[in-house]
Amino acid sequence: MKRNSLNRRKFVTLLGAGSAALAARPWSLIASELVPNQDKPATNIGDAVKIPRTDWSMPGKYPGRVIHIRNPKAVINDEPVEQEAYRMIKKAMLELTGQDDLEKAWRTFVSPGERIGLKVNPVAGKLLSTSHAVTRSVVKQLIESGIEKENIIIWDRRDMELKDVGFTAENYPGIKITGTELQDENGSFYDKDGKLYGENNIDKEWFYWADVEGEYDAETMPYMINGGKYSYFTKIVTKDLDKIINIPILKNAGGSITNAMKNLAYGSISNTGRLHAQLWNETSAEVCAFAPIRDKVVLNICDALRGCFNGGPGANPQFICNYNSILMASDPVALDRIGYDIIAEKRIAEGIQKAATPELLKFLTQSSDLGLGISDKTKIDLRLFELG
C-alpha cells in the first residue's frame, strides 16, 4: 500500500476507531456515547496515581489560569497569518507568566539542553491541522529564548500524517519530525522481517491497561500497532523528550470538545480503537495521569485561529470557522473548559444546539479528580485580551 493510497474519509474514521464495525460509524454517533455510563470496564489508573508527583506535574505552574488572545487579523482569506500568530503567542506568554521579557517567560517552562517536544495534531488533514503559523511561531520563540534547534522535536502519533500536512524537514530545517507509526519509502508499515515499524517505537514498560479487547483487521492493525487489552506509551514521551508543549486545535466532538487532553491521551498510546466506544472520557483523563504525560507537559497552546464547531474531530469544510484566538495555559483541564465555551457559543449561534451541555465534559471532572487541573469554571482565572 503506497503512502496516501488509503481513502481519506476512511482513514480519518480509522484514526478514532479500530475495528471495521466501529470504523464504519459516524463521529456524531461516537460522540453521543460520551454521556457517562456507570458500568465502565476496569483500568489500571491506580498504577498511575501511585507514582509520586513532581514540581512539573499537571496542572503546572499556573493552575486554573487561562489566557485567551483574540485578534481579528489572525486569519486572512482562511489562511492563518504567521506574524499575527507570533504576536498572539508572545502576548499570551507574557500574560501567563507575568514576565515583561519573552525569553524569561519561555524560560519559566523550558531550559537550554532540554529536549522539547511540540505535540501537534494533523489528524484531520490540511483543512484542520495545527497550523504552521502557530507551530513556526513557537519554534521561533523557543530558539530566540536559547533553546537549541536540534533539541526541538515536532511529533504526533502518525509520521505519515505529519508529512501529509507539511511537517517536513524542508519546511522545518534542523527540526526533528517524528511519529510512532511509520511507513517506509515504499509505503509499507512492515520491515523485511514482517514486523511493524511502530512496534519498535512503543515502550512496553509504560502502558494503559483497560478491560476492553482490541481486535483489528489487517488494514487497521498498522494504525493501532497492537491489539489486546494493553495500550503502550510511545517512546517519544517515555524516552525521547524532557518537556512537552501541547499544541491542539479547537474542535468539537459532538456536543463535547476534543482539544488539549484528548490530543495528549490518544496521541501518546497504541491500540486506541478499542477505547472510543466505552472509555472515551476515561482515556482522555486517565492516560494523562501517567508520569510520561503528567510530569512532562508544561505548556498548552490551543491553536484556535481556525477550528470547527460541528463534524469534529474530522474536517468538514462547512463547519470550519475562524475563531481568531489563541488559548494558553499550563493547566490543560482549565484550557479545555474555556475552549468548550467557545465551541458551545458557536454551536448555539448556528442553531445546532439550544444550550450549552457542560455535563458532557465528564473527562474534565475526571481529570480534576485526578489532580490534573481545574474543571470548575467558577474557579478558573480567565484573562481575555484583544489585539488590534
Q: Minimal CA–CA distance to 310: which of 267, 340, 342, 352?
A: 352
- 297-308 and 320-329 beta bridge pairing: antiparallel
- pLDDT of 2: 37
10-residue mean pLDDT series, the chain (388 residues): 40 41 33 51 97 97 98 97 98 98 98 98 96 98 98 98 97 98 94 95 98 96 97 98 98 95 98 95 98 98 98 93 98 98 98 96 98 98 96
- pLDDT of 39: 78
Distance CA 247, CA 273 (A): 22
Distance CA 244, CA 264 (A): 10
The DSSP output letter for 224 is T
- pLDDT of 19: 30
CB–CB of 266/123 below 8 Å?
A: no
Q: Which amino acid is at 86?
A: Y
Segments in the chain forming alpha helices (H): 8-16, 20-23, 27-32, 45-49, 82-97, 102-107, 132-144, 159-164, 235, 260-268, 276-286, 291-294, 332-349, 362-369
- pLDDT of 16: 44
Q: Which amino acid is at 108?
A: T
DSSP H or E segment with residue 61: none
- pLDDT of 38: 56
- pLDDT of 323: 98
Distance CA 229, CA 86 (A): 42
Strands (E), 86-238: 116-119, 152-158, 176-181, 202-214, 228-234
Distances (CA, A) of 110 to 106, 116, 120, 172, 372: 6, 8, 18, 20, 20
CB–CB of 18/220 below 8 Å?
A: yes
Instruction: Give the count of beta carbons closer than 10 Å to the beta carbon of residue 147.
Output: 22
* CB contact burial 206-232 (16+ within 10 A = b; e otherwise): bbbbbebebebeeebbbbbbbbebbbb
